[in-house]
């Protein structure tokens, strides 16, 4: 026995696959992409036991996307085929674990039977045995084992029951399945035998999978001569794939039906009260269904705003205290400046938003885990279709509320190419969590903290309004694109509506950890880098003017303490104006003046192209440089104290704040989104178009609002 084995986890959607994956690997999991495609690849390590010599035996588990069959209908579903049927695949398993929903055994066995016929070691994990009792179904596990000719382990992934037995089964040397599930030769005659001569396999079914899907399998794309032989054979036999697949499917279900007669007993046909149907009567009701959905959205945004406030304040105070501490310990100079105003300012700007992101994904994970997301799709499909979208688009769109990057990745579940492209085009209009910092900051500046009718937080209400604006803009844009985008191959909407289940807290916890990690490390490194670059840009400048100002500053410092603070501030502010950043902001000021923006906002607009939340970090840096460093006020207070140099009135009026919020609502200021859109559509055309149309929308909206309200 090797000390490390490759295990693939496959199963139908909603079969509890990710719960089993979490139960096996816990926190030992990584998320990446499968090579060449942007389908999420979750891998994890699980210690199975010890070898006789005392060494740990580990299983490297790959969680493959959920599918009903090895024949792919979408890019996600290509992965199980490519991993299981391609000996060249990096993840090609030593053992395949098929997870089956025991309460839906017939359909689960279909996929399992295909994998059995590949003639590689396989274990069947029978999940959700707990649901059987309620339905008066009994499964004879031993008879099933006998009939399938493979190991069968009953488990309850939610409670962790049977996990130890499953690990034990993975440790024992597994033979290839003892007999074929269906006789392929009875369908295609000796065609399969001839294919087997081209590719070295012991399985007639693997040979047939190769015939049907060779374009997707790298074994053939990297061996052109084999591919040509295969194509010649297909022509020679006049082999028709759909007719064969149809026959194969029927034959498999015939065998499964027969098998279930011997292994499954349904003792009482009269089913008891169906809880799911009762709940659905309410949740898909024409009035209550939509009311409930709106209530859920309302609850999410209210709690993000008020609940997240507490940890955010702690972080804020913590960073202020820490900056102060560093300033008191280190001598003043470039290093201290870089640390406090460059690195720490950037770090604070990232970490402070973790509570909000965690809370948001807490809710999204619950909606998904309970099965409610599928109902959202069900009640929204008709509406979404009017806008050129799809009931399934609601999931990327709602995820877009957190971040457009994973949301665009999740559009892969939309099979219609046109619907998918439109969803990608409009998803960045949804207000993502990176805009949240910008909204939070600006709302707290221009909207008073007060409650409406005693219980509705007014700031929360305005925030919800910003989210609604984003959503409506996305729908409007989708409606326009519906007429501009050409239709591709017909796709189907058909999907399962799972039964309601209690959320699994460990799944939700792991999902939050994963999303926060992605935010901290993917967005985080950009933010820190930008923060440092910005510190350089705003601390140094070209030409004599900047040098003179620097001299003036040094002289001021030398001359002692009786210099009025105002003069010192003025020098600082002049210095910033003369810096590289100030020059860039000034250069673009004429273009953004009609929107109510000054050159400081101009700088923020440039830097936050990297990611919108950089706006806050930029403002922190600009204002901590522009003011004296002894008094570490929060960036908000500093911005609010800013006066318009011409009128002497506060710089951030209601009109400026709203105009700025709208600009951030519409403009595609996120290079990660552009990069993902490029990867997902295969060209720069789509992201460049997105950037242009969203930028135009932003400029016009801000212009109109500022000119009307100023």
Partner 1 sequence: MTLQAVKLSSLKKGDSCIIESFTNEELQLKLMEMGCLPGELVVVERLAPLGDPMAIRVSGYTLSIRLDEASLIMVTASR
Interaction site with partner 1 (CB under 8 A): 68-69, 71, 73, 103-104, 106-107, 110, 242, 245-246, 249-250, 253, 276-277, 280-281, 284-286, 289-290, 374, 377-379, 381-383, 391, 490, 492-499
What is the DSSP annotation of 49-65? EE-TTSPEEEEEEEEPP
For 186, 246, 256, 692, the CA distances from 147, given in Å and listed in that order, are 20, 24, 10, 61
Looking at beta carbons only, is 374 or 447 nearer to partner 1? Answer: 374
What sign does the CA torsion over 365, 368, 371, 376 have? Answer: positive
Looking at beta carbons only, is 190 or 246 nearer to partner 1? Answer: 246
Looking at beta carbons only, is 71 or 609 nearer to partner 1? Answer: 71
Looking at beta carbons only, is 263 or 694 nearer to partner 1? Answer: 263
- Measure the CA–CA gap between 128 and 105, rounded to whole angstroms: 10
Looking at beta carbons only, is 494 or 502 nearer to partner 1? Answer: 494
Nearest C-alpha neighbor of 132 from the set 165, 98, 101, 99: 101
Residue 152 sits at φ, ψ, to 5 deg, of: -125, 125
Looking at beta carbons only, is 80 or 437 nearer to partner 1? Answer: 80
Residue 496 Cβ vs partner 1, minimum distance, rounded to whole Å? 6
For residue 570, the tally of other CB atoms under 10 A from its CB is 11
Residue 254 Cβ vs partner 1, minimum distance, rounded to whole Å? 9
Residue 177 Cβ vs partner 1, minimum distance, rounded to whole Å? 20
Kind plus residue range of the DSSP H or E element containing 97: strand 95-101
Residue 498 Cβ vs partner 1, minimum distance, rounded to whole Å? 8
Looking at beta carbons only, is 113 or 511 nearer to partner 1? Answer: 113
Residue 278 Cβ vs partner 1, minimum distance, rounded to whole Å? 12
Nearest C-alpha neighbor of 6 from the set 79, 83, 93: 93
Q: Per the structure block, which two tokens stand in for 626?
A: 């522009």
- Measure the CA–CA gap between 149 and 259, rounded to whole angstroms: 12
SS3 assignment, position 274 = coil
- Measure the CA–CA gap between 222 and 228, rounded to whole angstroms: 12
- Interacting residues of 465 by C-beta distance below 8 A, sequence separation 6+: none
Looking at beta carbons only, is 38 or 276 nearer to partner 1? Answer: 276
Name the region of 238 (left: φ>0; alpha: ψ -120 to 50; beta: rest).
Answer: left
Residue 494 Cβ vs partner 1, minimum distance, rounded to whole Å? 5
Nearest C-alpha neighbor of 442 from the set 600, 590, 606, 664: 664
SS3 assignment, position 362 = helix
For residue 242, the tally of other CB atoms under 10 A from its CB is 8
Residue 241 Cβ vs partner 1, minimum distance, rounded to whole Å? 10
Vertex 662: Cα angle to 659 and 664 (nearest 5): 110
- 461 burial class (0-12, 13-18, 19+ CB within 10 angstroms)? middle
- Measure the CA–CA gap between 247 and 223, rounded to whole angstroms: 30
SS3 assignment, position 161 = strand
Looking at beta carbons only, is 281 or 548 nearer to partner 1? Answer: 281
Q: H-type helices in 204-287, by residue range?
A: 204-213, 218-221, 224-237, 241-263, 275-283
Residue 226 Cβ vs partner 1, minimum distance, rounded to whole Å? 26
Cβ atoms of 616 and 636 closer than 8 Å:
no
Looking at beta carbons only, is 137 or 571 nearer to partner 1? Answer: 137
SS3 assignment, position 96 = strand
Residue 499 Cβ vs partner 1, minimum distance, rounded to whole Å? 8
Place of tokens 């099979």: 415
Q: H-type helices in 354-393, by residue range?
A: 354-370, 372-386
- Measure the CA–CA gap between 404 and 669, rounded to whole angstroms: 11
Residue 213 Cβ vs partner 1, minimum distance, rounded to whole Å? 13
Cβ atoms of 400 and 410 closer than 8 Å:
no
Residue 114 Cβ vs partner 1, minimum distance, rounded to whole Å? 9
Residue 110 Cβ vs partner 1, minimum distance, rounded to whole Å? 6
Residue 451 Cβ vs partner 1, minimum distance, rounded to whole Å? 33
Alpha-carbon Rg for the chain in angstroms: 30
Residue 71 Cβ vs partner 1, minimum distance, rounded to whole Å? 7
Looking at beta carbons only, is 38 or 249 nearer to partner 1? Answer: 249
Q: What is the DSSP letter of 341?
A: I
Looking at beta carbons only, is 286 or 486 nearer to partner 1? Answer: 286
Looking at beta carbons only, is 2 or 382 nearer to partner 1? Answer: 382
Looking at beta carbons only, is 350 or 499 nearer to partner 1? Answer: 499
Residue 410 Cβ vs partner 1, minimum distance, rounded to whole Å? 18
Looking at beta carbons only, is 274 or 631 nearer to partner 1? Answer: 274
- Interacting residues of 446 by C-beta distance below 8 A, sequence separation 6+: 652, 653, 654, 657, 658
Cβ atoms of 538 and 582 closer than 8 Å:
yes
- Interacting residues of 349 by C-beta distance below 8 A, sequence separation 6+: 437, 527, 531, 613, 614, 616, 617, 620
- Measure the CA–CA gap between 266 and 252, rounded to whole angstroms: 21
Residue 613 Cβ vs partner 1, minimum distance, rounded to whole Å? 37
Looking at beta carbons only, is 249 or 550 nearer to partner 1? Answer: 249
- Measure the CA–CA gap between 638 and 441, rounded to whole angstroms: 12
Residue 243 Cβ vs partner 1, minimum distance, rounded to whole Å? 9
Looking at beta carbons only, is 78 or 341 nearer to partner 1? Answer: 78
């Amino acid at each position: 026995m090797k000390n490390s084995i490759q295990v693939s986890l496959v199963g139908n959607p909603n079969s509890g696959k990710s719960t089993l994956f979490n139960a096996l690997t816990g926190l030992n999991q990584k998320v990446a992409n499968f090579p060449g495609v942007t389908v999420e690849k979750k891998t994890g390590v699980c210690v199975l036991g010890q070898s006789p010599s005392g060494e740990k035996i580990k299983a490297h588990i790959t969680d493959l996307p959920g599918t009903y069959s090895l024949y792919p209908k979408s890019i996600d579903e290509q992965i199980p085929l490519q991993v299981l049927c391609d000996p060249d695949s990096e993840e090609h398993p030593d053992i395949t674990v098929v997870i089956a929903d025991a309460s839906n055994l017939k359909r689960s066995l279909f996929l399992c039977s295909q994998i059995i016929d590949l003639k590689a070691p396989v274990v069947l994990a029978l999940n959700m045995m707990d649901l059987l009792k309620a339905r008066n179904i009994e499964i004879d596990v031993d008879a099933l084992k006998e009939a399938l000719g493979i190991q069968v382990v009953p488990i309850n992934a939610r409670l962790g029951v049977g996990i130890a037995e499953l690990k034990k089964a993975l440790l024992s040397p597994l033979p290839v399945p003892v007999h074929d599930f269906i006789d392929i030769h009875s369908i295609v005659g000796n065609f399969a035998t001839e294919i087997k001569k081209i590719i070295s396999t012991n399985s007639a079914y693997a040979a047939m999978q190769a015939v049907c899907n060779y374009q997707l399998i790298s074994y053939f794309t990297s061996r052109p001569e084999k591919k040509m032989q295969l194509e010649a054979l297909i022509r020679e036999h006049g082999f028709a794939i759909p007719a064969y697949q149809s026959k194969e499917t029927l034959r498999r279900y015939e065998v499964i039906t027969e098998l279930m007669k011997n292994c499954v007993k349904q003792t009482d046909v009269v089913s008891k009260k169906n809880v799911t149907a009762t709940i659905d009567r309410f949740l898909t009701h024409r009035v209550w269904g939509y009311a409930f959905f709106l209530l859920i959205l309302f609850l999410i945004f209210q709690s993000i705003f008020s609940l997240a406030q507490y940890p955010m304040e702690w972080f804020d105070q913590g960073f202020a205290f820490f900056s102060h501490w560093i300033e008191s310990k280190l001598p003043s100079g470039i290093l201290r400046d870089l640390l406090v105003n460059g690195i720490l300012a950037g770090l604070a700007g990232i970490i402070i938003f973790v509570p909000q992101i965690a809370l948001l994904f807490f809710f999204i994970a619950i909606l998904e885990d309970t099965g409610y997301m599928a109902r959202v799709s069900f009640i929204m499909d008709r509406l979404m279709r009017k806008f050129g979208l799809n009931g399934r688009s609601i999931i990327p769109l709602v995820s877009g509320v957190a971040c457009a990057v994973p949301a665009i990745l999740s559009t892969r579940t939309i099979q219609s190419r046109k619907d998918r492209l439109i969803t990608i085009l409009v998803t960045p209009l949804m207000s993502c969590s990176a805009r949240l910092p910008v909204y939070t900051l600006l709302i707290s500046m221009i909207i008073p903290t007060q409650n409406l009718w005693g219980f509705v937080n007014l700031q929360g209400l305005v925030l919800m309004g910003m989210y609604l604006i984003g959503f409506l803009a996305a729908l409007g844009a989708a409606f326009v694109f519906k007429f501009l985008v050409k239709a591709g191959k017909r796709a189907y909407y058909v999907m399962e509506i799972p039964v309601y289940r209690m959320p699994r807290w460990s799944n939700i916890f792991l999902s939050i950890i994963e999303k926060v990690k992605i935010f901290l490390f993917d967005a985080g490194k950009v933010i820190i880098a930008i923060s440092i670059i910005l510190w350089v840009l705003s601390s140094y400048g070209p030409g004599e003017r900047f040098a003179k100002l620097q001299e003036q500053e040094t002289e001021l410092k030398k001359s002692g303490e009786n210099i009025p603070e105002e003069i010192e501030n003025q020098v600082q502010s002049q210095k910033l104006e003369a810096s590289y950043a100030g020059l860039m902001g000034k250069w673009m000021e004429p273009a953004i003046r009609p929107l109510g923006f000054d050159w400081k906002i101009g700088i923020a607009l440039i830097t936050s192209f990297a990611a919108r939340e950089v706006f806050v970090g930029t403002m922190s840096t600009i204002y901590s440089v522009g003011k004296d460093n002894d008094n570490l006020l929060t960036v908000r207070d500093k911005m609010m104290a800013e006066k318009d140099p011409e009128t002497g009135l506060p710089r951030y009026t209601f009109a400026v704040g709203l105009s700025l919020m709208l600009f951030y609502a519409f403009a595609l200021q996120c290079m990660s989104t552009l990069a993902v859109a490029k990867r997902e559509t295969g060209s720069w055309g789509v992201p460049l178009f997105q950037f242009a149309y969203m930028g135009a929308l932003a400029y016009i909206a801000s212009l109109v609002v500022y000119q009307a309200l100023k």
